[in-house]
């Protein structure tokens, strides 16, 4: 750290508590270690593969959007200039294109005015939590393990989370009901449940369709809002269509978080929230939950970048608002990479090693159970000594757990490096297992600063 | 409101309290009324003038940025593609260009790693408040009247604000000390002070240089962090350079919020925070406050749009990181519009009307004192019956006040409509004053829903 100019000292213990939260730090740590070991083969990040996107086409997408505004919305050149230049509608300007896309791709029928365009799905989480959670009585239920984005967002807003253990078929709706009852028994309100039904991050597990229906019934009974996050839904290993919770929802239980990070590109930072729930005010007036989210957004980011909306809007318009079709090459890529990774794990990890893993139906992630402590110190040794990166699962358990698990992502590895990557992983696992057996446990090693 | 699909009913009183905050609603209301009366001449929004920006040049700026990455940072085509496509550094990727720009334009010397690129200055406010405010004991001091963006951000995070009355020369440092002592006396901690020293929104007032030095001394004595927001600093009516608080700060009191909304364009949603304060952790390690803000950002928006950073970075690079020079036409435009507005007010508002106004040293805004209640209902009558828009000042007083004041902005009006605009305003003011004198006060009218 070098500093130019003044440098007042602040004390970290007097800053907001979220800054000391290990879950909040884990994302930063993972980004940092990826940049510290640039030559390592990385099964760590949930980043999308870059090989299928041509950034030179950005001006072309921009033009596709301005053409759309001119021809479909009849906007003049001056009006198009304003759309790109000026502050705009808080809820966003590509809501009509998104409404058509989610109808085409997922059969979700949502009025455009019930859509809020957000700075990625992450802002969607913050908006949704901030609107729904009135005070310390309100509690958020999350799966355990759970995506750190939602637990971090909750931590920033001082929202208490209560974990619901996840099994091979996702969370059990009956357990959700039990946890909700337990929360209520201690005088709090189980306000919402966050869930990724398809190929969850970090576990890779999905919820079977009957369980989805069951979960919706339980949520309605328990007066729980379901916050459905679906960044990986396109990337199934088969061609079976998995209905989103939102598409099965008949009574407005689900607030749906959408992302273009994996289906278009993450640098744009464009996501969206489908929030057509009615909000009744004391004077009897009724608004959409989307309108309430927009109020929050006006104080958080004001608008989502017009340039990003234009480029994503251009991609949607240029593909007839059929993003699943536009993603056929990408879908094939992840499918083949996941198949190859599973095959290589079977090939290189001998049964004698005591390692097991799950076989997700799609997505980016799978989980390995290992006989040693797979913490950040182990990750550093893996990167430094073996040139291979992965993610400690313990980062994803809000209440502890996952100490002997690691997450592998197949999304960011070049196909021709998969074999070498799994070889390195096998070497690291072998060494770590032997070291554990020899009694040199990781817990004795200094935890990485 | 039309709805497709399910529509669960939520009760507004069970949502977060910020959603009922009148300050939070006022920005939305102002946006809405602008769109409801598109033909009105608008002195209402703080939006920048659009006539000087050519959106067709966006691909050119994009190319200027990628050229900069290739030539100055030696990045390959693949690396440039990654910079535009992928998740990136949480703190941003144009921090070096911003460091050079603030050094050239404001004489502020800040290490690039102490800069966080944000989704507009608004996200900068949220990051700074979230990091600095640990809990309910911590209180934010704000000027009164005050920009609604900061009071809204505080409300979202349940941070208590305490107003400091503003005079013709901004806030009085001695009053800041008194308010801080009062806060301390009731067992709370005055943690930070938000201030716009140049051409404040909404009042248009500026702090004289001696008062700036005085404020920094008081803030250091009171252990207050000063959050300086400077969106309008370039737009002085004279050529005198006004030193920012940050440039006068010798002991790290100031966290500086920067914006490109008025000097480049608002649709990009790019701002920045200069935060080179040292943060000491319990283990003795030291980080920059910027690093802590980045942690918060990783859970709020993850990154600022790479496309927006590229276009703003391209504008900076193409202009040798001298944005003040690049803004000469814009500076001249606002200067002339403000002069013309002041001259027209003198011409059209007869002394007999009982109206007075201030004469700001620059910026977008001035304030009229009027003999009637200038509330949202009055604004609706002004728009509907006279075709002229302005902003009720009462929206900007956290603790009430400003009932007989309105804000005029000169930034968004075409120069050739200024005369007609002030004529309409004079007609509205005459009518409203006469109606008040006739006893038909606005308070009896139904407040607009």
Task: Output the pLDDT for position A337.
Answer: 97
Mutation site, B21, B86, B151, interface A, largest A CB count within 10 A: B86
Of B19, B123, B306, which has the smallest distance from its Cβ to A295's Cβ?
B19
A227-248 pLDDT, tens digit each: 999 999 999 999 888 999 999 9
A59-89 pLDDT, tens digit each: 999 999 999 999 999 999 999 999 999 999 9
**Neighbouring C-alpha atoms within 13 Å toward the C-beta of B27:** 32
Residue A350 lies in a domain: yes
CATH number at residue A410: 3.90.1150.10
Task: Identify whether residues A333 and A271 lie together within a single domain.
Answer: no
CA atoms of B300 and A297, how far apart (whole Å): 11
Task: Identify whether residues B165 and B209 lie together within a single domain.
Answer: yes
Alpha carbon A395 to its chain centroid, in Å, reads 14
Task: Identify whether residues B333 and B271 lie together within a single domain.
Answer: no
Q: In this model, does residue A1 exceed pLDDT 70?
A: no
Does any CB of chain B come closer than 8 Å to the CB of residue A24? yes
Residue of A nearest to B270 (CA): A305
**Considering A325, A350, A367, which residue would you say is the last residue of a domain?**
A325
Dig out the tokens for B447 from the structure. Answer: 């407040």
Q: β-strands A286-288, A356-357: how paired?
A: unpaired
Task: Identify whether residues A183 and A263 lie together within a single domain.
Answer: yes
Which positions ≥6 away from B166 have C-beta within 8 Å? B143, B144, B145, B200, B203, B205
- Which strand ranges, in their side-by-side order, compose the sheet holding B278-280? A9-11, B278-280, B286-288
Q: In this model, does residue A441 exceed pLDDT 50?
A: no
Residues 227-266 of A with CB under 8 A from B: 249-254, 261, 265-266
Task: Identify whether residues A373 and A250 lie together within a single domain.
Answer: no
Residue A423 lies in a domain: yes
**Cβ(A355)–Cβ(A371) below 8 Å:** yes
Residue A422 lies in a domain: yes
Q: In this model, does residue B239 exceed pLDDT 50?
A: yes
How many other CB atoms are there within 10 angstroms of residue B381's CB atom? 16
B186-235 pLDDT, tens digit each: 999 999 999 999 999 999 999 999 999 999 999 999 999 999 999 999 99
SS3 label, residue A66: helix
Q: How large is the average pLDDT for residues A338-357?
A: 95
Which positions ≥6 away from A76 have C-beta within 8 Å? none
Residue B27 lies in a domain: yes
Task: Identify whether residues B68 and B166 lie together within a single domain.
Answer: yes
CA atoms of B345 and B335, how far apart (whole Å): 16
Task: Output the pLDDT for position A3.
Answer: 41
Which positions ≥6 away from B144 have C-beta within 8 Å? B163, B164, B165, B166, B396, B397, B398, B399, B401
CA atoms of A216 and A237, how far apart (whole Å): 25
Top-confidence residue, B382 or A1:
B382
Q: In this model, does residue B249 exceed pLDDT 90?
A: yes
Task: Identify whether A315 is preceded by a cis peptide bond (ω within 30 of 0).
Answer: no
What would the DSSP string read from start to end of A189-248?
EEEEEEE--SS-TTT-----HHHHHHHHHHHHHHTPEEEEE-SSTT-BSSS-----HHHH
Task: Identify whether residues B316 and B350 lie together within a single domain.
Answer: no
Using only the alpha carbons of chain B, give its radius of gyration: 23
Q: For residue B265, which residues of chain A lie inside 8 Å, CB to CB?
A: 85-86
Residue A425 lies in a domain: yes
Least confident residue range of A30-34, A38-42, A89-93, B273-277: A30-34
A87-102 pLDDT, tens digit each: 999 999 999 999 999 9
Task: Output the pLDDT for position A299.
Answer: 94
Confidence grade of residue A7 (pLDDT, cut at 50, 70, 90)? low
Task: Output the pLDDT for position A445.
Answer: 47
Residue A6 lies in a domain: no
Closest CA to B46 of B341, B408, B420: B408
CA atoms of B395 and B27, how far apart (whole Å): 9
**How many Å lie between the alpha carbon of A10 and the closest alpha carbon of chain B?**
5
Task: Identify whether residues A101 and A227 lie together within a single domain.
Answer: yes
Task: Output the pLDDT for position B448.
Answer: 46
Q: How large is the average pLDDT for residues B268-288?
A: 96
Confidence grade of residue A2 (pLDDT, cut at 50, 70, 90)? very low
Task: Identify whether residues B259 and B393 lie together within a single domain.
Answer: no
Does any CB of chain B come closer than 8 Å to the CB of residue A38? no
Using only the alpha carbons of chain A, give its radius of gyration: 23
Q: For residue A133, which residues of chain B lie inside 8 Å, CB to CB?
A: 16
Q: In this model, does residue B1 exceed pLDDT 90?
A: no
Q: For residue B153, which residues of chain A lie inside 8 Å, CB to CB?
A: 299-300
Residue B299 lies in a domain: yes
Q: For residue A59, which residues of chain B lie inside 8 Å, CB to CB?
A: 58-59, 62
Q: How large is the average pLDDT for residues B426-432?
A: 97
Task: Identify whether residues B114 and B206 lie together within a single domain.
Answer: yes
CA atoms of B21 and B154, how far apart (whole Å): 11
Task: Output the pLDDT for position B8.
Answer: 75
Q: For residue B133, which residues of chain A lie inside 8 Å, CB to CB?
A: 16
B170 strand-pairing partners: B167, B168
Q: Count of domains in chain A? A: 2
Closest CA to B364 of B223, B263, B224: B263
- Give the burial string for A336-367 (b: 16+ CB within 10 Å, else e): ebbebbbebbeebbeeeeebebeebbbbbbbb
A167-212 pLDDT, tens digit each: 999 999 999 999 999 999 999 999 999 999 999 999 999 999 999 9
Task: Output the pLDDT for position B447.
Answer: 46
B145-202 pLDDT, tens digit each: 999 999 999 999 999 999 999 999 999 999 999 999 999 999 999 999 999 999 999 9
B21-61 pLDDT, tens digit each: 877 777 777 777 887 898 999 999 889 999 888 889 999 99
Confidence grade of residue B240 (pLDDT, cut at 50, 70, 90)? confident
pTM of the model: 0.95
Mutation site, A290, A295, A364, interface B, largest B CB count within 10 A: A295
- Across the interface, whether the CB atoms of B19 and A149 are under 8 A apart is answered no
Residue of B nearest to A137 (CA): B14
Q: β-strands B138-144, B160-167: how paired?
A: parallel
Q: In this model, does residue B423 exceed pLDDT 60?
A: yes
**Considering B278, B295, B325, which residue would you say is the last residue of a domain?**
B325
Closest CA to B182 of B139, B136, B130: B139
To the nearest 10 degrees (0 to 180), the angle between helices B376-386 and B22-36 is 10
Residue with the two structure tokens 């959603």: B19
Task: Output the pLDDT for position A178.
Answer: 98
- Across the interface, whether the CB atoms of B8 and A253 are under 8 A apart is answered yes
Task: Identify whether residues A426 and A406 lie together within a single domain.
Answer: yes
Task: Output the pLDDT for position B7.
Answer: 57
CA atoms of B25 and B446, how far apart (whole Å): 18
Residue with the two structure tokens 């009509």: A96
Residue with the two structure tokens 């716009």: B196
Q: In this model, does residue B441 exceed pLDDT 80?
A: no
**What is the extent of the structural domain holding B90?**
58-325
Write the CA distances from A59 to A76, A139, B311, integer angstroms: 19, 45, 12
Residue A241 lies in a domain: yes
Task: Identify whether residues A350 and A276 lie together within a single domain.
Answer: no
Q: How large is the average pLDDT for residues B134-143?
A: 97
- Across the interface, whether the CB atoms of B28 and A298 are under 8 A apart is answered yes
**Considering B303, B325, B347, which residue would you say is the last residue of a domain?**
B325
Confidence grade of residue B12 (pLDDT, cut at 50, 70, 90)? very high
Consecutive H or E run containing A147: none
Q: For residue B14, which residues of chain A lie inside 8 Å, CB to CB?
A: 134
Q: In this model, does residue A23 exceed pLDDT 80?
A: no
Q: β-strands B356-357, B254-259: how paired?
A: unpaired
Residue B54 CB-density burial (10 A; 0-12 exposed, 13-18 middle, 19+ buried): exposed
CATH number at residue A162: 3.40.640.10
B64-78 pLDDT, tens digit each: 999 999 999 999 999
């Amino acid at each position: 750290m070098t500093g130019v100019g003044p440098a007042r000292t602040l004390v970290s213990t007097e800053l907001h508590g979220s800054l000391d939260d290990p879950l909040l730090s884990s994302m930063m740590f993972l980004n940092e270690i990826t940049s510290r070991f640039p030559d390592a083969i990385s099964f760590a990040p949930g980043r999308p593969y870059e090989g299928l996107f041509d950034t030179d086409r950005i001006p072309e997408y921009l033009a596709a959007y301005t053409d759309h505004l001119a021809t479909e919305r009849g906007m003049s050149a001056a009006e198009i200039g304003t759309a790109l230049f000026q502050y705009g509608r808080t809820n966003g300007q590509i809501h009509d294109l998104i409404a058509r896309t989610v109808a085409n791709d997922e059969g979700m029928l949502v009025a455009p005015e019930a859509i809020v365009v957000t700075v990625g799905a992450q802002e969607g989480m913050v908006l949704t939590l901030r609107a729904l959670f009135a005070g310390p009585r309100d509690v958020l239920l999350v799966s355990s393990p759970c995506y750190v984005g939602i637990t971090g967002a909750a931590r920033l807003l001082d929202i208490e989370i209560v974990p619901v253990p996840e099994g091979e078929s996702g969370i059990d709706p009956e357990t959700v009901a039990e946890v909700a009852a337990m929360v209520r028994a201690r005088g709090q309100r189980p306000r919402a449940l966050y869930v990724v039904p398809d190929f969850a991050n970090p576990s890779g597990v999905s919820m079977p369709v009957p369980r989805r229906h069951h979960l919706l019934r339980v949520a309605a009974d328990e007066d729980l809002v379901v916050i459905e996050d679906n960044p990986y839904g396109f990337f199934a290993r088969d061609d079976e269509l998995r209905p989103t919770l939102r598409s099965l929802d008949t009574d407005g239980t689900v607030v749906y978080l959408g992302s273009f990070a994996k289906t278009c590109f993450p640098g744009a930072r464009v996501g969206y929230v489908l929030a057509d729930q009615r909000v009744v005010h004391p004077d009897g007036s009724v608004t959409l939950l989307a309108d309430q989210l927009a109020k929050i957004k006006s104080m958080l980011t004001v608008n989502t970048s017009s340039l990003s909306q234009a480029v994503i809007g251009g991609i949607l318009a240029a593909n007839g608002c059929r993003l699943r079709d536009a993603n056929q090459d990408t879908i094939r890529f992840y499918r083949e990479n996941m198949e190859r990774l599973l095959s290589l794990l079977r090939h290189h990890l001998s049964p004698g090693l005591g390692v097991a893993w799950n076989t997700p139906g799609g997505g980016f992630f799978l989980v390995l159970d290992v006989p040693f402590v797979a913490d950040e110190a182990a990750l550093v040794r893996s990167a430094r000594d073996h040139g291979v990166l992965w993610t400690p699962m313990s980062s994803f358990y809000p209440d502890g757990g996952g100490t002997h698990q690691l997450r592998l992502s197949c999304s960011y590895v070049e196909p021709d490096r998969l074999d070498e990557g799994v070889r390195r992983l096998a070497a690291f696992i072998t060494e770590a297992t032997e070291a554990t057996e020899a009694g040199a446990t990781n817990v004795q090693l200094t935890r990485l600063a």
